[in-house]
């Protein structure tokens, strides 16, 4: 079983730069010969191992930047150790200064994750404590080079850290293969990949990649759920199956021997989203297992085709156990390009539409037209749930705090010291509040989280509940938290110091206004917008203050229960989530408004289609307190393709309707204020009245048909 470990490589005088999204360590390794790697360093927090590192001089240790949270006087290093439980031959030294790469960032894609630690005193060099050489200028490591990694990390994802130093042999792989495996996470100028029967898991970020007698890389990040390897969890192909719960009914499970992704695959645009899997053995064809031919050449627009898969029947549903299919039609390239913009390539892609389609879990299935496969299901338009966000990697945001009332999540907050939590002032209620730190899944109480009571509340003295100005509060905890890999602090910066515009929000809040809170921590990228745009958005509202607030937008955003969480730009908290457009949960896409076209009876779906709304354009002078300018345009997420749906013409400029003209109105509204909406469409004839006619003439002008 091979294990893939991603190690990053660039020059730092001319040496190493690394990035990490998770902390990693050694699995399937063997115990090293005691003190055979005298350069190895255990970086510790409160005398607990958190990361690896290695000596490059008698005063400096090289490690990963993410091993430090930004606060000094916390970390110590242990050199000369083999068994961390034994102090024989080891030296414990405090860290004097931290020197992370100036361009280190954790936002979006992590880059430049390398750091020098300067020790408070020089180490005593001996047979147990020595430094390791770094590559010379221009020296590189080639693919298929035999190397090794070492560390005190976990033996498995949910296991405990090793007391004794472990090592594993690995082999470097070429850039193309690494790019296929890691996609946009990979930077060829900074990183290399390595694989072998042993490799890294959680706990030893910062340790060296040793090739010969030289450290060529720093162990950085990998697939945390699979202990840094897409192969550690064996990928298999099931052929001949209809019901996945009945695998033995004529179906066969076969292991995958090798992966051959398109060398130009782009994870951002999904161009060239195609891959060949070579099976470990040939498939014997029969009536239930047969290959399909592949069509060469173009397929005409509006061709009738189909898609199949075991994916989810709805976004929040579970994968289907039985094979499902849906009829679709090919859309012409112009319409597809208008819908998908830069993501669409007419030479490599095609779009389909229909009443059915693919969802999560259907990716990779065929688009079948006639008896041939003409395409592969790649991506689709979905609104996903923070709102439109994704689950955060467990404990990747150790500063996050769940504020709870009676054991239920109420608001978010974040640790700024071992005794204080920052949150939003409006989160305080007249009820006892507790803070949960170190959590990812709020239902899992055994994952290392801690519940601590709140000792005192300190709202901003100028906080206004009506305007939400100065919506910030400090919570003093009843006891200090014990910092660890799961519980840590975040630095605070002023708004003026923000240099990036793309930031992140996180929380356990609702995905939609009427939904339930999330059990697991969610995150979403947002973009800071200019003050003038923000002022226009909240025009006429007392809620916005240029000097005290900032706005952010994105496909994801915050909803009820996310208040008090941090706005994180780079590695620092620059704001506290306060409020948003409540009706849309901070995003016009988060509460999905849909339009039903082609319907007569809303209870019947025949000949009708439901389409999401992409954007809302109210009249700029509309005021909800008065009826003037009560008009709005809705832009649909996709064009309408139904024979019984047509648009209606609008009057020419200057064209008007004269008094006494017979007209009509139609709708599915109530026929009486106490009645429910009517399902079949109703209409009435009306007569346009002159502005000079008295109001009491209105009654006889309306007639029900």
Query: Up-side HSE of residue 276: CA atoms within 13 Å toward CB?
Result: 5
Does the pLDDT value for residue 522 go beyond 80?
A: yes
CATH class of this structure's domain 233-291: mainly beta
Does the pLDDT value for residue 135 go beyond 80?
A: yes
Question: Which one has a higher pLDDT value, 105 or 626?
Answer: 105
What does the pLDDT average to over 648-669? 84
- State how far the Cα of 335 lies from the Cα of 108, in Å rounded to an integer: 31
- State how far the Cα of 182 lies from the Cα of 505, in Å rounded to an integer: 24
Residues identified as active-site: 66, 113, 205
CB atoms within 10 A of CB 18: 33
pLDDT at 78: 96
pLDDT, one tens digit per residue, over 60-119 is 999 988 788 766 557 899 999 999 999 889 999 999 988 888 877 765 556 777 889 999
Look-up of token digits 């000949």: 607
Q: Assess if CATH 2.40.10.10 describes domain 390-602.
A: yes
Look-up of token digits 């001949």: 240
Does the pLDDT value for residue 595 go beyond 50?
A: yes
Whether 393 and 225 have beta carbons less than 8 Å apart is answered as: no
Question: Which one has a higher pLDDT value, 703 or 238?
Answer: 238
Top mean-pLDDT range of 187-191, 503-507, 605-609: 503-507
What does the pLDDT average to over 189-217? 75
Q: Is 9 helix (H, G, I), strand (E, B) or coil?
A: coil
Does the pLDDT value for residue 24 go beyond 60?
A: no
- State how far the Cα of 225 lies from the Cα of 201, in Å rounded to an integer: 9
Does the pLDDT value for residue 581 go beyond 70?
A: no
Angle subtended at Cα 424 by Cα 422 and Cα 427, rounded to the nearest 5 degrees: 115
- State how far the Cα of 655 lies from the Cα of 668, in Å rounded to an integer: 29
Does the pLDDT value for residue 704 go beyond 70?
A: no
pLDDT at 34: 93
**For residue 534, which phi and psi values (nearest 5 degrees)?**
-65, -40
Nearest to 160 by CA among 485, 445, 397, 436: 485
H/E/C letters for each residue in 169-228?
EEEEECHHHHHHHHHHHCCCCCEEEEEECCEEECCCCCCEEEECCEEEEEEEECCHHHCC
Does the pLDDT value for residue 266 go beyond 90?
A: no
Query: What is the pLDDT of the chain when averaged over all its residues?
Result: 72
pLDDT, one tens digit per residue, over 653-662 is 888 888 888 8
Query: Which one is the CATH code of 293-383: 3.40.449.10, 3.40.50.9100, 2.40.10.10, 3.30.1490.20?
Result: 2.40.10.10
Does the pLDDT value for residue 696 go beyond 60?
A: no
**Structure token pair of residue 229:** 């390897």
Please give the radius of gyration of the chain, using alpha carbons only, rounded to the nearest integer.
30
For 321-330, 529-538, 648-657, 677-686, which range has the lowest pLDDT when averaged over its residues?
Answer: 677-686
Question: Which one has a higher pLDDT value, 695 or 386?
Answer: 386
Query: Which one is the CATH code of 30-222: 3.30.110.30, 2.60.40.4070, 3.30.2350.10, 2.40.10.10?
Result: 2.40.10.10
Does the pLDDT value for residue 555 go beyond 60?
A: no
pLDDT, one tens digit per residue, over 146-195 is 888 898 887 665 567 788 998 888 888 777 667 666 655 666 667 777 77
What does the pLDDT average to over 238-254? 58
pLDDT at 371: 81
Return residue ranges of the chain for CATH 2.40.10.10. Answer: 30-222, 233-291, 293-383, 390-602
CA–CA distances in Å: residue 511 to residues 187, 358, 393: 33, 22, 18
């Amino acid at each position: 079983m091979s294990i893939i470990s991603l190690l990053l490589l660039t020059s730092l005088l001319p040496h190493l730069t690394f990035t990490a999204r998770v902390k990693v360590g050694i699995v399937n390794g063997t115990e090293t010969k005691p003190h055979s790697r005298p350069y190895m360093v255990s970086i510790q927090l409160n005398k607990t191992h958190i990361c690896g590192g290695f000596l490059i001089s008698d005063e400096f240790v090289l490690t990963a930047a993410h091993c430090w949270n930004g606060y000094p006087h916390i970390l110590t290093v242990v050199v000369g150790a083999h068994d961390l439980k034994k102090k024989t031959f080891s030296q414990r030294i405090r860290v004097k200064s931290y020197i992370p790469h100036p361009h280190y960032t954790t936002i979006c894609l992590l880059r430049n994750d390398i750091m020098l630690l300067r020790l408070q005193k020089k180490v005593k060099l001996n047979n147990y404590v020595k430094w390791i050489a770094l590559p010379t200028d221009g020296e590189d490591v080639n693919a298929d080079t035999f190397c090794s990694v070492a560390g005190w990390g976990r033996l498995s994802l949910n296991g405990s850290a090793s007391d004794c130093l472990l090592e594993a042999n690995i082999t470097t792989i070429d850039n193309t293969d690494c790019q296929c495996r890691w996609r946009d996470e990979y930077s060829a100028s900074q990183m290399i990949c390595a694989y072998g029967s042993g490799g890294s898991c959680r706990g030893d970020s910062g340790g060296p990649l040793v090739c010969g007698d030289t450290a060529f890389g720093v162990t950085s990040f990998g697939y945390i759920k699979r202990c840094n390897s897409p192969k550690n969890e064996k990928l298999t192909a099931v052929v001949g199956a209809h019901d996945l719960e009945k695998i033995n009914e004529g179906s066969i499970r076969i292991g995958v021997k090798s992966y051959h992704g398109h060398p130009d695959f782009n994870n951002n645009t999904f161009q060239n989203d195609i891959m060949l899997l070579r099976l470990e053995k040939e498939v014997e064809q029969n009536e239930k297992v047969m290959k399909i031919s592949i069509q060469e050449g173009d397929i005409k627009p509006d061709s009738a085709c189909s898609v199949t898969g075991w994916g989810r029947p709805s976004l929040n549903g579970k994968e289907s156990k039985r094979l499902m299919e849906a009829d679709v039609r090919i859309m012409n390239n112009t319409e597809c390009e208008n819908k998908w913009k830069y993501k669409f390539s007419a030479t490599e892609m095609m779009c389909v539409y229909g009443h059915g389609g693919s969802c999560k879990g259907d990716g990779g299935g065929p688009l079948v037209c006639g008896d041939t496969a003409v395409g592969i299901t790649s991506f689709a338009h979905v609104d996903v749930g923070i709102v439109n966000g994704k689950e955060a990697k467990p404990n990747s945001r150790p500063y996050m705090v769940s504020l709870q009332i009676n054991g239920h999540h109420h608001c978010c907050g974040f640790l700024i010291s071992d005794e204080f939590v920052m949150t939003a002032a409006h989160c305080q209620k007249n009820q006892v509040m507790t803070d949960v730190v170190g959590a990812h899944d709020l239902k899992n109480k055994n994952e290392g989280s801690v519940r601590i009571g709140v000792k005192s509340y300190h709202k901003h003295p100028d906080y206004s509940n009506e305007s939400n100005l100065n919506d910030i509060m400090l919570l003093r905890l009843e006891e200090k938290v014990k910092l660890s890999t799961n519980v840590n602090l975040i630095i605070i910066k002023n708004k003026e110091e923000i240099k990036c515009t793309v930031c992140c929000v996180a929380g356990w809040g609702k995905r939609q206004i009427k939904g339930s809170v999330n059990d697991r921590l969610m995150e979403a990228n947002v973009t800071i917008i200019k003050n003038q745009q923000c002022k226009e958005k909240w025009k006429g509202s007392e809620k916005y203050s240029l000097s005290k607030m900032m706005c952010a937008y994105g496909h994801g955003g915050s909803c009820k229960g996310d208040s008090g969480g941090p706005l994180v730009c780079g590695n620092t908290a620059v704001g506290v989530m306060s409020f948003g457009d409540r009706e849309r949960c901070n995003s016009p896409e988060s509460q999905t408004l849909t339009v039903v076209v082609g319907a007569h009876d809303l209870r019947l779906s025949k000949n009708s289609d439901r389409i999401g709304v992409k954007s809302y354009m109210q009249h700029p002078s509309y005021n909800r307190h008065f009826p003037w300018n009560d008009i709005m345009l809705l832009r649909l997420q996709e064009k309408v393709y139904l024979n019984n749906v047509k648009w209606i013409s609008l009057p020419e400029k200057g064209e008007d309707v004269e008094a006494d003209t017979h007209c009509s109105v139609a709708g599915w509204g109530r026929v009486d204020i106490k009645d429910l909406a009517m399902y079949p469409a109703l209409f009435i004839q009306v007569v346009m009245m002159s502005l000079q006619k008295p109001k009491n003439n209105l009654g006889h002008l309306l007639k029900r048909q």
